[in-house]
Structure 1
């Protein structure tokens, strides 16, 4: 499912227009992104938790030359599914 299909699904489930559903989805995604950028978690009960995770600096290898390279520390977005979501996906 891509974003347009998700918008159509939301519009169908809520009885709203695709324009309204698109605006609502964009607002939700922007809210999640803003909170993650500020270093906060976003917890959606029964669905999961969006959070940031720190990656330490490390040494890697260039696969073409085998040369060692330094990889800088970084922060990335992560999602941890809730138990209810895990069960639903597993078909239980």
Structure 2
């Protein structure tokens, strides 16, 4: 329930940040939102890159899953983590 609320929140944030590209806000706010959009793209890209680099080679991540992680960020990672079977200890 809360993960889905977080996903909805992330969609709203993406919408707000991308709206600034189409209809720019007044000058001081425009620059702040541009920086926030850049930061969000970089951080979500890092999340996808780090997850891909830590995954075992026999369990690749689909492109659809990568896209969802890029869009929803940590909320998708939490949902994805809940679906994974627990690791067996040696």
| Structure with larger RCO (C-alpha < 8 A, sep 6+) | 2
TM-score, normalisation: structure 1:
0.33
Q: Of Structure 1 and Structure 2, which has the larger fraction of its residues in helix?
A: 2
Greater Rg by CA: 1
Q: Of Structure 1 and Structure 2, which has the larger fraction of its residues in strand?
A: 1
TM-score, normalisation: structure 2:
0.34
